[in-house]
Amino acid sequence: MIPKAAQLLGLAMRARKVITGEELVLAAVRSGQARLVLLAADASDNTAKKVRDKCSYYGVSCVSTGDRHELGHAIGKDGRVTVAVTDGKLAESIQRLLT
């Protein structure tokens, strides 16, 4: 994961604009809260397919990035496979850096 994107993700976490955990992220996508979903590159095939399908159906950007430990470290938690950013501007900035 790009250091600047990790910094922005940490900022989003401190601003309480981040949702983690597969079920909570999928619920945020369904409810329209999620603006960007980050998926760890080492996520299981089943989880990756479920998250990508849900994101494409609801029109939410889904970016694959780093492994679960990098993603967790960026938000100050243990390994995380899926992270949703709920703030539009932060999501846009993170996505621009990662793509």
- Of all helices (H) and strands (E), which one includes residue 98? helix 88-98
How high does pLDDT run on average in the chain? Answer: 93
pLDDT range class, residue 2, cuts 50, 70, 90: confident
Please give the backbone phi and psi of residue 97, each rounded to the nearest 5 degrees, phi first.
-70, -30
pLDDT tens for each residue of 69-83: 999 999 999 989 999
Quick check: 1 pLDDT over 80? no
pLDDT tens for each residue of 10-58: 999 999 999 999 999 999 999 999 999 999 999 999 999 999 999 999 9
Token pair in block for residue 83: 């992270």
Quick check: 62 pLDDT over 90? yes
What is the percent of the chain with per-residue pLDDT over 90, rounded to a whole number?
86
DSSP letter for each residue of 15-48: TT-EEESHHHHHHHHHHT--SEEEEETTS-HHHH
Q: Is the pTM of this model over 0.85?
A: yes
